[in-house]
Amino acid sequence: MADVSSRTDTSTDADTEYRNMGFQNNHELTVMGSDGSDKTRDQKTLRRLAQNREAARKSRLRKKAYVQQLENSRMKLTQLEQELQQARQQGIFVSSSGDQSQSLSGNGALAFDVEYARWLEEHNRRINELRGAVNAHAGDAELRIIVDSIMAHYEDIFRIKGDAAKADVFHILSGMWITPAERCFLWLGGFRSSELLKMLITQLEPLTEQQLLAINNLQQSSQQAEEALSQGMEALQQSLAETLAGSLGPSGTSGSSGNVANYMGQMAMAMGKLGTLEGFIRQADNLRRQTLQQMHRILTTRQAARAFLGISDFFSRLRALSSLWLARPRE
């Protein structure tokens, strides 16, 4: 019995030790597994943080480049304005090819660009004055004075454009005096009155039934007049193309006296047709002027103030869009 007891005690101690060793090994494996998983998670976290830092760094670089491009554009614009002012004082315009110059006498393309920049600056000042009065809930009498001054200021730009069209009608038609986004809406040297009215109707609510009817009639009549002028321009282009095509003689015979005379006659006819372009610009501006005047008469003073603010905001956003487009990052 003592021998059996001794063996039993020895076996029990061995089993206990074996179990303890197994528990310790399992614990070590568990710890090792946990450490491995933590290391994996730590590596993923570090990798993700590194990626975030790199993305943030690239974003800062792109933003810095974008801001720098905006600043460069502003400096170029300032420099251009200074050059335009100097050229206007000298009365000389140098063409883009650099091989010819002509006296502007205050009415050329470059002089018009300077005059338009001044007009736009004054227009923005009056619009800001109007906006301040509206926000301050000024009375109708005060608003009427500002609205009338803005209406009179529009008369100035129509007069300036008329003088510029006499000197260089193609400059007015091309729209090179306005920003690229504004040129998307260019029609015969300006905006379409019908499109502006369509945009303003939703911003001027509530309108009385009589006002709404009057504005709809004005919008339709403006659109009809615009279509008539557009058809006239298309007819002029077709006639001009036919005239120029008629001056093309058979190959090898252009040197004969008859062909030279025919060529000169056809070119004289083409020049006469181009002379009508100024009339189209004048009619389009008259339509724009009359539309603004009639809109002014239809609306109340406060509604007219909101209309002028809406028109100004629309074109201001177009100019801002152009600046952003020109300064966009290019990779």
219 in a structural domain = yes
Q: How many domains does the chain have?
A: 1
Residue 248 has pLDDT above 80, yes or no: no
More confident residue, 55 or 126: 126
71 in a structural domain = no
116 in a structural domain = yes
Closest CA to 312 of 180, 164, 196, 223: 196
CA 292, CA 154: separation in Å to the nearest integer? 9
Encoded tokens for 98: 């650099």
**Residues in the chain, total:** 331
Phi and psi angles of residue 95, each rounded to the nearest 5 degrees, phi first: -70, 165
Residue 322 has pLDDT above 60, yes or no: yes
What does the pLDDT average to over 212-220?
95
Residue 107 has pLDDT above 80, yes or no: no
Phi and psi angles of residue 208, each rounded to the nearest 5 degrees, phi first: -70, 165
More confident residue, 329 or 178: 178
What does the pLDDT average to over 49-56?
87
Is residue 150 within 8 Å of 129, Cβ to Cβ?
Answer: no
Tens of pLDDT, residue by residue over 115-169, are 999 999 999 999 999 999 999 999 999 999 999 999 999 999 999 999 999 989 9
What pLDDT band is residue 329 in, cutting at 50, 70 and 90? confident
Q: For a pLDDT cut of 90, what percent of the chain falls above it?
A: 52
CA 324, CA 34: separation in Å to the nearest integer? 53
Q: What is the 3-state secondary structure (H, E, C) of 99-159?
A: CCEEECCCCCHHHHHHHHHHHHHHHHHHHHHHHHHHHCCCCHHHHHHHHHHHHHHHHHHHH
pLDDT of residue 79: 67
94 in a structural domain = no
Encoded tokens for 257: 């006296």
Q: In terms of pTM, does the model score above 0.85?
A: no
190 in a structural domain = yes
pLDDT of residue 53: 87
292 in a structural domain = yes
15 in a structural domain = no
Tens of pLDDT, residue by residue over 168-196, are 999 999 999 999 999 999 999 999 999 99
Tens of pLDDT, residue by residue over 253-302, are 444 555 777 788 888 898 999 989 999 999 999 999 999 999 999 999 99
Residue 97 has pLDDT above 50, yes or no: no
Find the domain containing 271 and state its range.
Answer: 109-245+265-326
Is residue 190 within 8 Å of 164, Cβ to Cβ?
Answer: no
Average pLDDT over the chain reads 81
Tens of pLDDT, residue by residue over 84-95, are 665 555 444 433
pLDDT of residue 82: 64
Closest CA to 112 of 178, 195, 33, 197: 178
More confident residue, 326 or 331: 326
What pLDDT band is residue 4 in, cutting at 50, 70 and 90? very low
Phi and psi angles of residue 136, each rounded to the nearest 5 degrees, phi first: -85, 5
What does the pLDDT average to over 104-112?
67
* Pairing mode, strands 101-103 and 92-94: antiparallel
The 8-class DSSP code of residue 204 comes to S
12 in a structural domain = no
What does the pLDDT average to over 97-125?
72
What does the pLDDT average to over 228-249?
88
More confident residue, 295 or 13: 295
Tens of pLDDT, residue by residue over 299-320, are 999 999 999 999 999 999 999 9
